[in-house]
Amino acid sequence: QLTGQMEAFRSKLQEFANKHKNEIRKNPEFRRQFQEMCASVGVDPLASSKGFWAKMLGVGDFYYELGVQIIEVCLATRQRNGGIMNIDELQQRVSKSRGTSKDVSYDDLIRAIEKLKVLGEGFRIIPAGKGFLVQSV
């Protein structure tokens, strides 16, 4: 019976995700809420860029592309800032490079930087007062 309930739940979650996939991709707040909802039931839509959720929603690609853009911004500014940048500046620079139609939230930046950990410890989020710093080595 539990297996049946889990299958029904997964089906409803897939239905919801498919119905709202454009909103999930384009709206940072909606994307954050969707990820929190998934996390509360033990589903990680970002677990793999080749996983079911990533294929269905394109969110895996979104965060991997965002990760590449973060790396590019950090490398381009390292000479000037020594590899430490306020997350506000990172958000501004990444958003500018993406164009205004694709909003990027702090939550998106943090998730993308967390995904960069597969490359080693070269990128970190450092809490600083009410904000964050991004360290790239």
Q: What is the pLDDT of residues 80-132, one digit of tens each?
A: 999 999 999 999 999 888 775 567 888 889 988 988 887 888 899 999 998 99
Task: Provide the angle, in degrees to the nearest 10, between the axes of the packed helices 87-98 and 59-81.
Answer: 120
Task: Report whether 96 contacts 89 (CB < 8 A).
Answer: no
Give Cβ neighbours of residue 63 (< 8 Å, ≥ 6 apart). 46, 108, 111, 112, 115
| Ordered domains of the chain (ranges, CATH) | 2-136 (1.10.10.10)
Q: Which two tokens stand for residue 56?
A: 């269905």
Max mean pLDDT among 4-8, 15-19, 49-53, 104-108 falls in 104-108
Q: pTM of the prediction?
A: 0.64
The rounded mean pLDDT for the chain is 80
Helix (H/G/I), strand (E/B), else coil: 118: helix
